[in-house]
Chains A and B, each alone.
Chain A
């Protein structure tokens, strides 16, 4: 984090003009849920890659905490295996691992027992001594949401959360979902802010760590040519698609609780809406960016009555079908899914934004499981030309597509003359592939976000008011769709783009979904 001198302090004479990236301050990171899937697949591989790229301070240690009984060495061995399997860089570099692995510790114990936290505190002191981590702490809650209150309470009781103005920093990264509705999100926020300051809280949404999502800000506010047409005068509609081929796999229990609205719309998809629709921030810092995002969320047309839901929301649930040439089961027979479950696995939403820029421009959101392909994109469809010189229907509207995953990039669809033929236009696509233009392995989203958390940069993390505003919209929909009187979700065959009713939602406006 850039250093700002205090009022009467002599400025650091060695700091001005340096081009070297400053590594984060020394730190001991504590991962709760250390034996879980997220730690294995994402967190430890991301931390290893940060070490590999020399982005971590050498004075760094990791303490894993979970119930499973491991020794330090067993835990380190397990993590090395996980890194070897899930890291984006292979094989594991033995020299880098030697230092990295030497900083791994493990504390076994239930989260609701004081003894676990006493041993954690002692372990952290040992890490401070042996790894010179100076008492700085980053706690990462890679655990189910039900454990968050307990973890906060115990950390507070054991004085492991130091005040913001302490010379040693304490930060807490909290995984999604942050609450399951507006009331629970507010309650959790209250609990969090009872024990620490908002500046110490890092609510993570890994979509914001993706390069293309960050590039959206550069694309919009680092160029002059797009902003003048980025409004209701030129834009006809915006479609945001977040589609997955996978079903719920082993996460049936979680998914039964969450459903697609909580799993995707409340966080990832609404963040994409914010970045697409927001005004230019006055500066590129955490609060300035988040101030503009919250304005978008507050301007969303509420969908909280049965009539509004009927007009603007379609829910679906997949049945058996085929994807990629293989048979896949329906949701109702997935592991840990209740028979007769009404949990939606697909949603289509027509969103309105009450603002000068976007009034009257529909934002169509679509997300689902067991759709034909894995893709996340934002498509800005511009208005048709007012008069076609080259024959009716000859010129399709321009579309700007921002691909978030896979093959991150930007494509612009426009009309060009077919060579040789007399003024016959054809739609062509100019394609910018992010990974190719800037060759090399882009960092995983978790790498970027963990590094930001270690540096104390909250720009890519969601603020309290953002979380609550997003829940206000989604909670309004859930309030209707989860009531007993609400009809069950429509069925759709796995491998299709959702139920027919989803097509009808947009067709009633004279438009059609893109086929990504």
Chain B
């Protein structure tokens, strides 16, 4: 988290308009609605946008689940948000749109256009979206489905960057992501952003003057996840393996989490009400990272919202650091990912590929 990110920013004023079409969209009408929405929001016409944020979902329910996260991120990164909801199997064919302008402190800081298509109308989504993007600005695609298939491929071509959350998918899908990354795909991953504090603290331990001598003797690492191994655990293990090539990296399952969640990561609160405490540990979250340079072991352990680092086997076994975990809601993580608007995160690409090379079906119990 960067200094100055919103801690509890309030909602700006907003106005939402909606319209139903038959099977296709009418861009002229949509543009007029957008202007009406701006007028309703009370704006004098000033708009601030730093990017086009295209979010793609395959059901309205999935979008509604993701909506608070998108809005949280949009408060930090003013944008034109175009949401595409493609319900290809729904009948009868239909198209509709909702348009909103959200104003904050006198300026329209979020323009949101939600395009919903059912059945055959799905084929019109892409061309409608293309006509709604702001010129010149970077395009970041938030992909709400499985990270595979021709549609995903197309989304990657469209965007300067594509953001997924492999933490919400079966672990095996990390392999498909790794293959795309190997081909140069500009993918960002919320599961990766979740492990930043672990990486930072692990690196910090090896910066402690009295512990630097152990840098060259690191031999193994063990990542323990709560209840099940999730993508973030695999990515943390993959990261360590790429950074310390000689190290043997092991993934392990620890005891079940305090709060069970259908998918790792949990959800955002309502927009404007982002919780400040770190999210509770959920299934698949990393709870421990241990690495060793015998006889010294470095242990990073999560205790609720604190990461505790301990070093044993060195001259003294003191607790050398404790770090408060920042809130890990998808909205905040997405805000972090949106700081990189184009190009690849090489470290992530290497870590995901290393994770994919690990045996993701066998792990030990802790």
Contacts and interface: CB of A to CB of B under 8 A. Distances in A.
Interface string A68-106: 000000000000000000000100010110010000000
Contacts of A17: 346-347
Interface string B273-299: 000110000000000000000000000
Interface in B315-352: 318-327, 336, 340, 345-347
A51 interface: yes
Interface string A41-63: 00000000111111111110000
Contacts of A23: 200, 204, 323
B323 A57 contact: yes
A368 B224 CA distance: 61
B73 to A, nearest CB: 11
A448 interface: yes
B258 interface: no
A18 interface: yes
Interface residues of A, number: 52
A440 B277 contact: no
A96 B276 contact: yes
B259 to A, nearest CB: 16
Nearest to B322: A58
Contacts of B7: 49, 52-53, 89, 440-441
A62 B345 CA distance: 38
Nearest to B193: A19
A180 to B, nearest CB: 33
B81 to A, nearest CB: 13
B212 A9 contact: yes
A211 B7 CA distance: 17
A15 interface: yes
Interface stretch (A254-262, A371-379, A429-437): A429-437
Contacts of A134: 320
B196 A18 contact: yes
A12 B9 contact: no
Given A10-B215, A13-B218, A132-B322, A18 B4 contact: no
Q: Which of A433, A440, A441 has the largest number of chain B CB atoms within 10 A?
A: A440
Nearest to B327: A54
Interface stretch (B105-113, B126-134, B135-143, B145-153): B105-113
A45 to B, nearest CB: 13
Contact of B9 (A16, A132, A440, A447): A440
A181 B109 CA distance: 47
A95 B199 contact: no
Q: Which of A14, A56, A433 has the largest number of chain B CB atoms within 10 A?
A: A14
A52 B106 CA distance: 28
A500 B324 CA distance: 56
B216 A18 contact: no
A433 B107 contact: yes
A432 B347 contact: no
Contact of A14 (B202, B323, B325, B345): B202
Interface in B162-213: 196-197, 199-200, 202-204, 206-207, 209-210, 212
Given A9-B212, A13-B206, A18 B321 contact: no
A10 B326 CA distance: 30
Interface string B3-18: 1111111001000000
A53 B7 CA distance: 7
B212 A451 contact: no
A8 to B, nearest CB: 11
B321 A15 contact: no
B323 to A, nearest CB: 5
B237 to A, nearest CB: 13
A447 B3 CA distance: 8
Contacts of B346: 17
B48 A436 contact: yes
Interface in B9-35: 9, 12
A3 interface: yes
A52 B276 contact: yes
A42 B4 CA distance: 16
Given A15-B206, A436-B109, A59 B322 contact: yes
Interface string A437-453: 11111110001100100
Given A55-B3, A443-B3, A15 B207 contact: yes
B326 A54 contact: yes
A54 B75 CA distance: 19
B86 to A, nearest CB: 29
Contacts of B327: 54
A437 B75 CA distance: 9
Contacts of B212: 9-10, 12
A13 B5 contact: no
A435 B78 CA distance: 11
A14 B203 contact: yes
A19 B199 CA distance: 9
A448 B3 contact: yes
Interface in B44-96: 46, 48, 50, 75-76, 78
Q: Which of A11, A132, A167 has the largest number of chain B CB atoms within 10 A?
A: A132
Contacts of A14: 199, 202-203, 206, 240, 243-244
Given A13-B243, A18-B199, A436-B107, A442 B4 contact: yes
Interface in B241-267: 243-244
A282 interface: no
22 contacts: A10-B212, A13-B243, A14-B202, A14-B206, A15-B203, A18-B196, A19-B345, A20-B200, A21-B2, A54-B325, A55-B1, A58-B323, A89-B8, A96-B276, A132-B318, A211-B4, A432-B48, A439-B76, A440-B76, A443-B3, A447-B4, A448-B4
Given A13-B244, A17-B346, A58-B322, 13 more contacts: A13-B215, A14-B203, A17-B347, A19-B336, A19-B345, A20-B199, A49-B7, A132-B320, A431-B46, A433-B105, A436-B78, A436-B109, A447-B4
Across chains A and B, which 7 residue pairs bring their CB atoms closest together, nearest first? A440-B6, A58-B322, A20-B200, A20-B196, A54-B326, A17-B347, A14-B203
